[in-house]
Amino acid sequence: EYVRLAWNITYVQVNRDGYVDRLAIGVNNKLPIAPVYITQGDTLLLTVHNMLDVPTAIHAHGLVQTNMPYMDGSSMITQCGIPPNSSFTYEIRSNAQSGTFFLHSHHMGQLADGLRTPFIIREKYPHGYDEDVLVALEDWYATDSRDKLVELLAPDTNTPLSPTFPFGLINGFNGNDTKTVKFERGKKYRFRVLSMSTTEYWKFTIPGHKLEVVEADGVMCEPQVVDGLDLAPAQRYSVVVTARDSDEFNFVYNCTLYADFVPRIKGLNPR
């Protein structure tokens, strides 16, 4: 089947971390961008109208574009960027692929400015779990990527630049404001944990629970039981978590944003 979506790529003024108002890039004047869901075998027809003042392009991260490299969305590699006030329709075929992916801009630093969202391809016949839970992770900087690039390329800039410490976003919002996940006793939950970050890493755990890895980067795998996940930028995992038989206690799931290449400062790195 064909799934049709229309995206107007626009600038938006947002405060995603609860501290800093800044200009960002969204879809249809909104940020965060709604996740995109299709079913294995479907084709996504994504019409992108660029309302920015610079080119843009959209990439389906992790998806194999068999015989369709010109739909891969890598600006100035597999296509020219979509010019301002112009449109382009991507034909993204899932074919036999399923799993956890994400859509993001592949032009300059627009990904860091918000143009990214989960892209989930559901199996035709899902099994082994009762419900899906999405955990989309982002690093969010206070500075526009274009300003950062100007700073980096300035002839009088001392390199490396002074470190900056991003906030962590969960499903589009400040991690401390994220919604709870309601468990029912004995049910199995498939957590789709994906890092849409640009530079920093994430750790994900649910204390008191084991995580059974069943998918890595869009490929189903032999189940592997782990205590937690470590995700580099663009990595994705699905883990099945079984709710405990008792509902006497609540549990806190932990998402920790960190990097080894910047100083460790309490409250900033890790965060």
Question: Which runs of consecutive H residues, i.e. helices, occur in 134-243?
Answer: 145-153
Q: Identify which of 193, 180, 175, 190 has the alpha carbon closest to the alpha carbon of residue 243.
A: 190
Q: How many CB atoms lie within 10 A of CB 254?
A: 12
Interval 40-47 mean pLDDT: 97
Residue bearing the bigger pLDDT, 153 or 127: 127
- At 160, the pLDDT band (50, 70, 90 cuts) reads low
Strand ranges of the sheet holding 188-195, from the earlier edge strand across to the other edge: 173-174, 167-170, 131-140, 188-195, 236-242, 211-216, 219-226
How confident is the model at residue 48, as a pLDDT? 98
How confident is the model at residue 118, as a pLDDT? 98
DSSP letter string, 24-80 = EEEETTBSSPPPEEEETT-EEEEEEEE-SSS-B-EEEET---TT-GGGS--BTTTBP
Q: Which amino acid is at 94?
A: S
Q: Mind listing the pLDDT tens digit for each residue in 44-54?
A: 999 999 999 99
How confident is the model at residue 176, as a pLDDT? 79
Q: Identify which of 117, 93, 101, 113 has the alpha carbon closest to the alpha carbon of residue 238.
A: 101
Question: Alpha-carbon dihedral of residues 219, 194, 33, 26, nearest 10 degrees?
Answer: -110
Q: Mind listing the pLDDT tens digit for each residue in 88-142?
A: 999 999 999 999 999 999 999 999 999 999 999 999 988 899 999 999 999 999 9
Q: Mind listing the pLDDT tens digit for each residue in 221-251?
A: 999 999 999 999 999 999 999 998 877 788 8
CA pair distance 12, 1, nearest whole angstrom? 32
How confident is the model at residue 4, as a pLDDT? 98
Find the helix or strand (DSSP H, E) in which 14 lies: strand 2-14
Q: Mind listing the pLDDT tens digit for each residue in 256-271?
A: 999 988 888 888 888 8
Interval 141-147 mean pLDDT: 90
- Tell me the C-alpha to C-alpha distance, in Å, between residue 229 and each of 59, 80, 233: 25, 36, 13
- Share of residues in the chain with pLDDT > 70 (%): 99
How confident is the model at residue 271, as a pLDDT? 86
Q: Is 210 helix (H, G, I), strand (E, B) or coil?
A: coil
Q: Which residue has the tokens 């391809």?
A: 121
Interval 209-216 mean pLDDT: 96
How confident is the model at residue 37, as a pLDDT? 98
How confident is the model at residue 159, as a pLDDT? 66
Q: Is 150 helix (H, G, I), strand (E, B) or coil?
A: helix
Residue bearing the bigger pLDDT, 207 or 4: 4
Report the predicted TM-score, pTM, of the whole model to 2 decimal places: 0.94
